[in-house]
Amino acid sequence: MTPILILNGPNLNMLGTREPEVYGATTLPQIEDRCVAFGKSLGLDVTCAQSNSEGALVDMVQAAKGTHALIILNAGAYTHTSVALRDAVSAAAVPMIELHLSNVHAREAFRHHSYLSDVALGVICGFGAKGYDLALEAAANHLAAP
Ligand code: DQA
């Protein structure tokens, strides 16, 4: 089993009740439980974490170096603001898949720029909670490549 980390940023602990018309009705614990089970079926040992704090997310990305083979990162609003989180991803040099539930490109202009996309393996957005499954499949595929 290959260890991977799913990291969710600010306000994603509110999923289920937070703007359900944008982010859906599934709660974060429901998403995380499904990711652990689906990950297992793909040979991935999935650890999940969430924080509202930018520094805590930086700490967790740094700590993934040497412990996790890949990070799936939904950085929430920090996607659009945080050079620190981007630098942490570059410094840790752990492959990262950027994820968003909503299609950020179909929303407000301030969500169109990401500090993470050009240091990501790839970006998945707009598919709601299903996006986590798609990211896990992409992760398994990437890690299995020679
Ligand atoms: C989000 C999109 C961000 O723009 C927003 O700030 C979020 C959630 C998403 O999953 O769609 O908090 O990352």
Q: Which CATH number fits the domain that encloses residue 138?
A: 3.40.50.9100
Torsion angle, alpha carbons of 67, 91, 95, 130, to 10 = 90
pLDDT score at 23: 97
Which domain covers residue 43, as residue numbers? Answer: 2-144
DSSP 45: E
Burial class (CB in 10 A: 0-12, 13-18, 19+), 8: buried
pLDDT beyond 90 at 76: yes
Cβ of 77 closer than 6 Å to ligand 1, yes or no, is yes
- Catalytic residue list contains 132: no
Q: What is the rounded CA–CA span in Å between residue 26 and residue 14? A: 10
Single-letter amino acid, residue 127: F
**How much is the CA Rg of the chain, to the nearest whole Å?**
14
Residue of 19, 52, 81, 100 to test ligand 1 pocket, by largest number of atoms within 8 Å of CB: 100
Query: pTM for this structure?
Result: 0.97
pLDDT of residue 121: 98
* Cβ of 102 less than 6 Å from ligand 1: yes
What local confidence, expressed as pLDDT, does residue 87 receive? Answer: 98
Query: Is a pLDDT exceeding 90 seen at residue 119?
Result: yes
When divided into structural domains, the chain yields a total of: 1
Catalytic residue list contains 100 = yes
Q: What is the pLDDT, as a whole number, of residue 146?
A: 78
